[in-house]
Amino acid sequence: MNKSKEQLLNKRYKAEQRFRLYGLSAIFMALLFLTIFIFKIFSTGYSAFQKTWLIVPVTFDAELMMLEQNPSNEDLQDADYYDIALKSMADLDPNANEDQENELKRMVSYFFEKEIKNELINNPGLIGKTKEVYLTASDDLDQVFKGNYPRDLPEDQRRVSDYQLKIFDQLVAKGKVESKFNISFFTYADSREPELAGIASSFMGSIFSILVCLMIAFPVAVLAAIYLEEFAPKNRFTDFIEVNINNLAAVPSIVFGLLGLGVLLAIFHLPRSTPLVGGITLSLMTLPTIIIAARASLKAVPPSIREAALAMGASRMQTTMHHTVPLSMPGTLSGTIIGLAQALGETAPLILIGMVAFVNTIPGSPMDPAASLPVQIYIWAESAERGFVEKVSACIMVLLGFLIIMNLFAQIIRHKFEKKWS
Amino acid sequence: MKKNGVKMIKIKAKNVDVFYGKKQALYNIGLDIEENQVTALIGPSGCGKSTFLRCLNRMNDVIDICSVKGEILINDFNINDKSCDVVRLREKIGMVFQKPNPFPKTVYENISYGPTIHGMAQSKQEMDEIVETSLKKAALWEEVKDRLHEPGTGLSGGQQQRLCIARAISVRPEVILMDEPCSALDPIATAQIEELIDELKKEHTIIIVTHSMAQAARVSQNTGFFHLGHLIEHGSTDKIFKNPDNTKTQDYITGRFG
C-alpha cells in the first residue's frame, strides 16, 4: 500500500471516530438537561409531600361548645367549636394581648375548627377533658419549618411576625411541631390556602377528560383511518382529505380551545368548565394524531397478507377486520397513547373552555366542573404564596408519573400484541 | 386430460386486454387451459404472464388503475361478467404467491381460515379433518403435526410455501394459480414443490407462472410463451420446447434473450 492511500484510510477512520464522538456528546447533552430538569423538579417539589402539624392542647369544654349533658351525635355535629378552638390557640401564650391572640390563631389553617370537631366526633368521651390535637400549620409556618422561608428579612417584609416565630420556635423546642406525609395533597381539592390545596380535583378532571377524549377520538380516528387506507378510492377528494388531516395535526391547540368555546359552549350550551367539554375539545386535537398513526401502521402491514386473504375468498371487509386491523393494532395503540399523552399535557384549550376556574370540589362525573393537572400547575404557578412553589413541582411530578404509567401501559399492550402476531 | 379423445377445456380466455391506466399490459390474449393438467406460462420479466394469471381470479380488481377487457370463461361462465361474485370465484380458484405469505397466525389457523369464512366445517372435528387432509396433500403433515398451534411464520421458507399451498387447497378449489411459487426457495424445497404439483394435478387444474424454463419443462403438460404483452405461442410443452413454430420462442428457449 502506498503512503497516500494509507493516509486516506487513516483520515476516513478519524472521520468516523469524530462522528461517533459527536453522537455521544449529543446524547450526553440530552441526558444532562434531563437530569438537571428532574433534579430541579424533585429538589423543589419533594417537600410538598410533607405537611407540618402543630400539636396543640385542646380542652373540650362542654359549656363553651354549648353542649348539654349526654349529647347525641347530632348535637356533636351542631356544636360550636369556634370558641374552644380559638381558646386553645390563645392559651399557647397566657400573656397574649388581643392582637397577639389574633396572630396566634393565624398560625394554623382555617380548618383548625373542623380538625378539632373531627377529633371530638371520633372520640366523644373527650368532653370535659384536655387532649393534644394535630392542627395543620399555616402555609408560612409550614415553609418556615421546611427551611424554605427567609427568616432574616425585616419583619415588615415578612408574612410571619416576630411574635409568631417566637411562639413557633418555643413549640419546636418542646417537640410540638411535627412533619407527616401529606395525604391531603392527594385527597383535597384546590384551595386558596397552600397548606390545604390538593390535586384531587385536577387529577380526577384529567382522568375524566382523557376518558372522554379516548372514547370519542379512538373509534372515530380508527374508523376514519381504516376507511381512508383500505376502502377509499385514491382520487383528488381523498388526497384533499389527507392533506387536511395533516394540516389539522399542525393546528395550534389554542385554536381547538376557541372551537370548543365557540361551538360546544356557545352553540350547544354544554356545561362550562367540565371534563366533558374539555375531553371533546382534546379529542378534536387528538384525532389527527391517531388517524396518522393508524394509517401508518395499516400501511406497514405487508400487502402480501391482504392478497393472501383476498385470494382465499375473503371479502374486503373480512380481509381488513381479520388480518389488516389486528396486525396494525400495536402501532395504532401506541399512536393513541402518544396522542392521549399530548392531550393530558395540554393547557391552552382547557383554559379557553373555562377549566381554569377555581374548583374546590372533587368532580364525581365528567359533567362536574374540574381543573386538570397542567392547568392546576398553571394556576398554582401564578399564585403569590410561597407555599405554592413546592406544590407546582409536586404537581409536575404527579403529571410526569401519570405519563410514565401511560407509556408503560402502552408498551405492555404492544408487547402482548406483538407476541401474539409474530 | 382427454375424454373420448377430446381435450377437456377448463378455462377459455378470449381477446383479453389489460390496461394499467393508459399503458396496455396485455394484448388480445386467447388461451385455452386444459382440465387436470399443468399449464406453465413462461416469458421474460414484465411480459405480462403474472398479470394474465391474476386475471383468472380477478386479483387485478385490487389495483385501482387496472382494467381488464375481454372474456375469461371458467366452466363456460364469464368471470368478467358483472354477475360474477368475486368471493365465490376465489373460493373456486386458489392462488399461491411468489413469496410465501402465511398469515401471522398458527399453522392450524392458516389452514382453517378459508373453510371458516366459507362455512365448510360444521364442527371442530370436521375442521380438524380438513386441516389434516390439506396438510397431507401438501406433504407437510408429517413435519408440522406436532406444532399445529405454533406460528406458521416460524416454519422454513419451503415449509411456508407448502403451508400456503395447503391453505389454498383447504377450500377444495378447482383451479390453483401459482405465481412463481419456487423463486424464493432453495433447490431441495423447489423439488418438493414440483413433486407436489404433479400430485395435485390429479384433483386440480394448475396454472403456474415460472421464470425457470427447466421447471416449466419438468412440471407442465402445456406451455404458453408471453412476450411484451403478447401471447406468442402456446401448445403442448413437448412441442414448445422441442419444435416451436415461432422464432422468438425458439430464441427464448435456447437462451438467446430473456
The predicted pLDDT at position A375 comes to 93
Whether residue B88 lies within 8 A of chain A, CB to CB, comes out as yes
Cβ(A53)–Cβ(A137) below 8 Å: yes
Contacting B with CB below 8 Å, chain A residues are: 233-234, 302, 304-315, 318, 322-323, 327, 421-422
Report residue A363 as a C-alpha cell. Answer: 368532580
How confident is the model at residue B123, as a pLDDT?
A: 92
CB A200 within 8 A of CB A189: yes
Q: What is the spatial distance between Cα A403 and Cα A406, in angstroms, rounded to a whole number?
A: 5
* Contact yes or no for B136/B148 (Cβ under 8 A): no
* Cell numbers linked to A111: 380548618
Give A303→chain B minimum CA distance, Å.
10
Regions of chain B where pLDDT drops below 50: none
Summarised one tens digit per residue, pLDDT across range A321-339 is: 999 999 998 889 988 998 9
Rounded to the nearest angstrom, the minimum Cα separation between B233 and chain A is: 28
How far, in Å, CA of B244 to CA of B168, rounded?
34
* B58 Cβ under 8 Å from any chain A Cβ: no
Amino acid identity at B195: E
**Which among A279, A241, A290 has a CA at the least distance from the CA of A257?**
A279
Q: What is the DSSP string of A44-73?
A: HHGGGGEEEEEEEEEE--TTTTT--SS--H
**DSSP structure string for A233-284:** --SHHHHHHHHHHHHHHTS-HHHHHHHIIIIIITTT-PPTT-HHHHHHHHHH
CB-nearest partner of B59 from A307, A318, A421: A307
Give the nearest chain A residue to B176 (CA atoms): A311
Name the region of A259 (left: φ>0; alpha: ψ -120 to 50; beta: rest): alpha
Predicted complex ipTM: 0.90
Q: What is the DSSP string of B15-55?
A: EEEEEETTEEEEEEEEEEEETTSEEEEE-STTSSHHHHHHH
Contact A421 B104 (CB under 8 A): yes
Q: Considering CB atoms only, which of A310, A318, A323 is closest to B103? A: A323
Residues 6+ apart with CB under 8 A from A68: A62, A75
Instruction: Give every residue of chain A whose pLDDT is below 70, as ranges.
Output: 1, 418-422
Cell of B122: 360444521
**Element (H or E) spanning B247, and its range?**
helix B247-253
Interface touch A315/B87, C-beta < 8 Å: yes
Based on DSSP, count helices (H) and strands (E) in chain A, helices before strands: 18, 3
- CA-based torsion, A153, A157, A163, A169: positive or negative: negative
- Is the minimum CB–CB distance between B151 and chain A shorter than 8 Å? yes
Q: Which of residues 235-254 of B touch A (CB under 8 A)?
A: none
Domains of chain B: 2-253 (3.40.50.300)
pLDDT, residue B239, reads 92
Which one of B91, B101, B105 has the shortest CB-CB distance to A313? B91
> Between B187-200 and B157-169, two packed helices, what is the crossing angle to 10 degrees?
20
d(C-alpha B223, C-alpha B243), whole Å: 13
Which ranges in B170-242 belong to alpha helices (H)?
187-200, 213-219, 237-242
Looking at beta carbons, which residues of chain B come within 8 Å of A311?
57, 59, 90, 94-95, 97, 168
CB of B91 less than 8 A from some CB of A: yes
Q: Enumerate the β-bridge partners of residue A178.
A: A53
List alpha helices for B40-123, DSSP H: 49-56, 86-92, 107-117
At A353 the three-state DSSP class reads coil
| Residues facing residue B13 across a β-bridge | B31, B72
Q: Where are the beta strands (DSSP E) in A88-194?
A: 130-136, 177-181
Say if residues B131 and B124 touch (Cβ distance below 8 Å).
no
Could you tell me the fold of the domain covering A200-421?
Answer: MetI-like fold (1.10.3720)
What is the pLDDT, as a whole number, of residue B7? 74
What are the tens digits of pLDDT across the range A368-389?
Answer: 999 999 999 999 999 888 889 9
Q: Which residues of A touch B64 (CB under 8 A)?
A: 233-234
Q: Give the containing element (helix H, strand E) for B163.
A: helix B157-169
Q: CA-to-CA distance for B224 and B240, rounded, in angstroms?
A: 8
Cell numbers that stand for A371 in this block? 381543573
- pLDDT of the residue at B6: 67
Which of A306, A310, A422 is the closest to B90 by Cβ?
A310
- For residue B170, which of B141, B208, B210, B150 has the smallest C-alpha distance? B141
CB B24 within 8 A of CB B17: yes
Q: Is B204 on the interface with A (CB under 8 A)?
A: no
User: Helix A200-226 vs helix A325-344: angle between axes, to the nearest 10 degrees?
Assistant: 150
Helix pair angle (A139-146, A162-173), 10° resolution: 60
Give the residue extent of every domain in chain A.
Answer: 48-182, 200-421
